[in-house]
A and B are shown apart, each in its own frame.
Chain A
Amino acid sequence: MKAKFWALVLLQVFLLAGIIGYRHYWLATGERVLLRTVPVDPRDIFRGDYVRLGYAISTLNLDRLEGEDKFVRNENVYVVLRKNADGSYSPTATLDTPPPGGRFIKGRVLSQTEGNRWEVTVRDDAGRRQTLEPRFFNHRRGERLSFCLNERNEVISFGNHSGCADPHWRPLTATIDEVRELRFNQLNVEYGIESYFVEEGQGKVLEAARSASDLVVEIALRRDGAGLITALFLDGQRLK
């Protein structure tokens, strides 16, 4: 009995060691890509604080991507990635089988829904017109609003405030010329890289820092496209 008991206990230890070895091999051999994020902060009952990471590739606009446009829940989806000038990666196509080559990440389809996005055309005080694409919009034509835009001209916030919280953001005060709500074919995908565990109490701190900064995640990609988080970069600084 003693021998059997220790054999089973060692089996438990080997199971733990096996998971660690497998994950280490993945980290050592996987190809690294950078993905941009939008996190929120919950708390896991067993594992303490973590930052919930949402990626630009978590909600895909299928109308703008090549490949398949019909998916069912829980189906595997292979998202082909292309490197941007800033080193991060963006999606170019969605496939239901792994592509023969190139960089791609494997995810699981949560749902395929009709998404909506906004195209807001504004005119600034100098009379220049430009089109912005906020994630959500609830103002009407003729209203005067202040926007904060990041380096990629994405709308970070808008309202009646003046100035922006981050010096890197560009303030823009303009009058709304036209508001268009567009429907698109949206795919919601989970990649298994949506949680980043931090020390207790740090989740909210990181979350607060995140809303004023740029958070990028480094992922190790396995050959079959499965991803594993290797590092977080807040404004280019690697988080420990």
Chain B
Amino acid sequence: MGQREDLPFLQRLETEMAAWEREGVIAPDQRERILSRYRAAREAEEKAGPGRLVTTISTLGALLVGVGVLLFVASNWSQIPSGWRLAIIVGSLLSSYGIGFHLRFAAGSYPRVGGALILLGAIIFGAGIFLVAQMYHVTVHYPNGSLMWGVGVLPLAYLLKQNSLLALAIVDLLVWLGMEVRFWVTDGSTAWEMQLITLCLMAGVLLWGAGLAHRGSTRLKPVAEPYIMVGALVTFLGCFILTFDVYRERFGSPALIPFYAVITVLFIVTLAVRVYARTNEKLWEAEMFALLAVMGAALYLTLGYRSGGEEKTFYVLIVNLLFAAGVVGIIALGYFRSYPAYVNIGIVFFVLDVTARYFDVFWKLLPRSFFFIIGGLILLSGGVLLERKRRRILAGFRTEEHL
């Protein structure tokens, strides 16, 4: 019978069946009988209100309560003994998970709010880890807390196929990576920020690759999106930073070679899984080769690049051209694949890139007042053009869906 995960399917089915009925493929009573199989899911959906809005509001609610719990732990009230504080944390963790599971699966009436409560349970789990660390005065910059949080939430995200849980786990693991790198890289080098950025770029490409591997599997496809979204954002952000004049020092550190090795091996595994899956998705080979190229470039920067002298202008130019190509590429990919998230990410980084290059090129050439007036006008007109173009693309997706 219909589950909540089937709702987008149900909406599509209804549209499809209306067409089938018109074309005489099925009779009206057959249509009714098929739809009745999924009616329970539809009723649950209607009770819960407009889907995305309910998800957004309840997820925001879960995040707010979660932040409140973290702050409660942080305030370290001496009036409440640490044992009681722990009992409060474990109690609220169990009840949040319990009520969440009941609403999402057992009762079935409030699946989205239920999902948000399960997310809250996972945030409280993180608060519990930090509370224990606080109780025993474990050193602050010890990254294991974030690692345990991420690893603890990950299996739950896969079991429930819940994207918000998976996004939380991925962000936890990225925070762990950042803290761990900061821990290893301070060898007196002033370039640790750039070493962190290139490593995050590699992690972004790995996540994106993992997303592609998930998309290739029918069973894991529902949880591919957080990998792809976080991966694409981190990858584009990393590349965007590299479009600036940052080619002065090294991008890698010998202390980080184990990280480079593990990320590269995992990335190759994800690509192999994707190739093995052979799922027919538009332009997946192009996407894979682009990721391979970015990973190769990141590896060259970390292992091969040495302090740039005259040739740094060359690097800046090449990376800018590649970045622009990447932005156009992801928008085109989103368009061909009817995937709005790619179009949106592409447009955000297109605007950021145009703004940054405008500052780079014209800051010294124009008097300041003209610089801001012209820049503002370009952005305003660019905003109107982009919004119209974006709407047209997204409207195109919807028309395609209906057809």
Q: Beta-carbon contacts of B139-150 to A below 8 Å, as 1s and 0s? A: 110100100100
Instruction: Kindly state whether residue A93 has any CB partner on chain B within 8 Å.
Output: no
A194–B142 Cα distance when bound, in Å, is: 11
Q: Are B101 and A44 in contact (CB under 8 A)?
A: no
Closest to B144 in A: A19
Q: Are A193 and B137 in contact (CB under 8 A)?
A: yes
Instruction: Kindly state whether residue B129 has any CB partner on chain A within 8 Å.
Output: yes
Closest to B124 in A: A12
B70: chain A residues within 8 A (beta carbon)? 46
Q: Which of B114-155 contact A (CB under 8 A)?
A: 121, 125, 128-130, 132-140, 142, 145, 148, 152, 155
Q: Are B184 and A12 in contact (CB under 8 A)?
A: no
Q: Are A12 and B93 in contact (CB under 8 A)?
A: yes
Question: Nearest chain A CB to B285's CB is how many angstroms away?
Answer: 36
Interface residues of A: mostly helix, strand, loop or mixed?
mixed
| Pick from B121, B132, B137, B188: contact of A9, CB under 8 Å | B121
| Pick from A4, A74, A111, A229: contact of B188, CB under 8 Å | A111
B139: chain A residues within 8 A (beta carbon)? 190, 192-195
A56–B41 Cα distance when bound, in Å, is: 66
Choose, from A61-69, A78-86, A147-155, A197-205, the stretch at the interface. Answer: A197-205
A23: chain B residues within 8 A (beta carbon)? 132, 135-136
Instruction: Kindly state whether residue A233 has any CB partner on chain B within 8 Å.
Output: no
Q: Beta-carbon contacts of A1-20 to B below 8 Å, as 1s and 0s? A: 11011001101110110011
Instruction: Kindly state whether residue A184 has any CB partner on chain B within 8 Å.
Output: no
Question: Nearest chain A CB to B175's CB is how many angstroms away?
Answer: 10
Instruction: Kindly state whether residue A159 has any CB partner on chain B within 8 Å.
Output: no
Q: Are A1 and B156 in contact (CB under 8 A)?
A: no
Q: Are B76 and A198 in contact (CB under 8 A)?
A: yes
Q: Which of A64-101 contact B (CB under 8 A)?
A: 73-74
Q: Are B132 and A20 in contact (CB under 8 A)?
A: yes
| Pick from A11, A194, A196, A200: contact of B75, CB under 8 Å | A200
B136: chain A residues within 8 A (beta carbon)? 23, 228-229
A136–B140 Cα distance when bound, in Å, is: 28
Q: Are A50 and B101 in contact (CB under 8 A)?
A: no
A83–B286 Cα distance when bound, in Å, is: 68
A52: chain B residues within 8 A (beta carbon)? 140
Closest to A16 in B: B128
Q: Are A73 and B187 in contact (CB under 8 A)?
A: yes
Q: Are A197 and B159 in contact (CB under 8 A)?
A: no
A61–B367 Cα distance when bound, in Å, is: 57
Instruction: Kindly state whether residue A128 has any CB partner on chain B within 8 Å.
Output: no
A50–B142 Cα distance when bound, in Å, is: 14
B138: chain A residues within 8 A (beta carbon)? 192, 195
| Pick from B73, B86, B152, B188: contact of A11, CB under 8 Å | B152
A46: chain B residues within 8 A (beta carbon)? 70, 73-74, 130, 145
Instruction: Kindly state whether residue B77 has any CB partner on chain A within 8 Å.
Output: yes
Q: Are B134 and A9 in contact (CB under 8 A)?
A: no
Chain A residues within 8 Å of B, Cβ to Cβ? 1-2, 4-5, 8-9, 11-13, 15-16, 19-20, 23, 42, 44, 46-50, 52, 73-74, 110-111, 190, 192-200, 228-229, 240
| Pick from A15, A198, A200: contact of B152, CB under 8 Å | A15
| Pick from B135, B159, B187: contact of A8, CB under 8 Å | B159
Q: Which of B323-359 contact A (CB under 8 A)?
A: none
A192–B184 Cα distance when bound, in Å, is: 15
Instruction: Kindly state whether residue B186 has any CB partner on chain A within 8 Å.
Output: yes
Counting chain B CB atoms within 10 Å of each CB, which of A8, A16, A47, A229 scores highest?
Answer: A47
17 contacts between A and B (CB under 8 A): A5-B97, A9-B93, A12-B93, A13-B90, A16-B128, A19-B129, A23-B135, A47-B73, A48-B134, A74-B255, A110-B186, A194-B140, A195-B139, A197-B76, A197-B135, A200-B76, A229-B136
- A16-B129, A20-B86, A195-B138 known; A5+B78 contact, CB < 8 A: no
A196–B140 Cα distance when bound, in Å, is: 9
B121: chain A residues within 8 A (beta carbon)? 9
Q: Are A9 and B94 in contact (CB under 8 A)?
A: yes
Instruction: Kindly state whether residue B63 has any CB partner on chain A within 8 Å.
Output: no
- A2-B101, A199-B76, A229-B137 known; A9+B184 contact, CB < 8 A: no
B137: chain A residues within 8 A (beta carbon)? 50, 193, 195-197, 228-229
B76: chain A residues within 8 A (beta carbon)? 47-49, 197-200
Question: Nearest chain B CB to A109's CB is how many angstroms away?
Answer: 11
Q: Are A47 and B129 in contact (CB under 8 A)?
A: no
| Pick from B105, B125, B132: contact of A1, CB under 8 Å | B105
Instruction: Kindly state whether residue B48 has any CB partner on chain A within 8 Å.
Output: no
A195–B145 Cα distance when bound, in Å, is: 15
Q: Are A195 and B156 in contact (CB under 8 A)?
A: no
B93: chain A residues within 8 A (beta carbon)? 9, 12-13
A116–B247 Cα distance when bound, in Å, is: 34
Closest to A46 in B: B130
Q: Are A47 and B132 in contact (CB under 8 A)?
A: no
- A1-B105, A74-B184, A200-B75 known; A9+B97 contact, CB < 8 A: yes
A240: chain B residues within 8 A (beta carbon)? 78
